[in-house]
Amino acid sequence: MDDQNKVKKTVRDSYADIARASGSCGCGGCCGSSNQTVQKQSGEIGYSQEELDQAPAGSNLGLGCGNPTAVASLKEGDVVLDLGSGAGFDAFLAAKKVGSTGRVIGVDMTDEMLEKAGENALKAGYTNVEFKKGDIENLPIADSSVDVIISNCVINLAPDKEKVFQEAFRVLKPGGKLMVSDTVLLKPLPEELKNDKDLLIGCVSGAILKEDYLELMHRAGFANIQIHKETPAFLEDYGLSITFSATK
């Protein structure tokens, strides 16, 4: 098994465990698994109380590092794609905004997360959301078929981030928008931290330098890249949580 597939297996296995336990492990390190802790964390990274209240119980596992739907300017009828949708939290928030004439597609590579998201959708009666198994480096989505892409603290986990941005560009309609919260580095991590499994799952060791991250987006074809929010994140002086937007 090559290094990239080893990384994906580690991520998949770890997030399967999180889904089974319905625990939470937010970016930058594991945290408490109680619902109260998750709600508090989510409020601190930009979710309103109304958003926290309207999402189906069990969909918010405290895995995000920002609120991409807050800057997405979603409107009724939009087709939205959520990269790494997990238990469905951001997908459900988007579904409320696009209404019955819109559609939200969540893509995730972990069966246990997809099962949990499907159960949440069924219990809460969401009919405009679907969840598909897939790799964000090779999306099971047609060319130029999506109005808006959202993603929350997931791209840092992908070994080939350039391919992720190329795929995002491919599936967006002309003029479509990419809205992402993620973690980036301000300076390189020491070698021992790069190889730490727990830091990979905690959205740290898989992160790359901010300037390299933005360059990959430019190379994929994205324009009008705007950073809406930056927050010091993990390992003081090393990383940031950023929320940004870009257009095709």
> How confident is the model over 164-185, as pLDDT tens digits?
999 999 999 999 999 999 999 9
Q: What is the DSSP letter of 94?
A: H
CA atoms within 13 A on the CB side of 96: 15
Residue predicted with more confidence, 172 or 67: 172
Whether the pLDDT of residue 29 is over 50: the answer is no
Q: Residue 166 has which token pair?
A: 């190329």
pLDDT for the residue 33: 44
Question: What confidence tier does 13 reach under pLDDT thresholds 50, 70, 90?
Answer: confident
Q: Is the pTM of this model over 0.85?
A: yes
Q: Give the residue from 246, 216, 12, 190 showing the smallest Cα distance to 108.
A: 12
**Average pLDDT, integer, range 84-90:** 95
Specify the range with the lowest mean pLDDT, choosing from 45-54, 91-100, 169-178.
45-54
Alpha carbon distance, N-terminus to C-terminus of the chain: 35
CATH class of 3-247: alpha beta
Give residue limits of the domains in the chain: 3-247
**Average pLDDT, integer, range 120-140:** 96
pLDDT for the residue 84: 97
Mean pLDDT of the chain: 88
pLDDT for the residue 44: 59
In degrees rounded to 5, what are phi and psi of residue 62? 70, 30
Enclosing H/E stretch for 85? none
Q: Where are the alpha helices (H) located in the chain, listed in sequence order?
A: 3-21, 35-44, 49-54, 89-98, 111-124, 161-171, 191-194, 197-201, 210-220
Question: What confidence tier does 2 reach under pLDDT thresholds 50, 70, 90?
Answer: confident
The pairing of strands 223-232 and 79-83 is unpaired
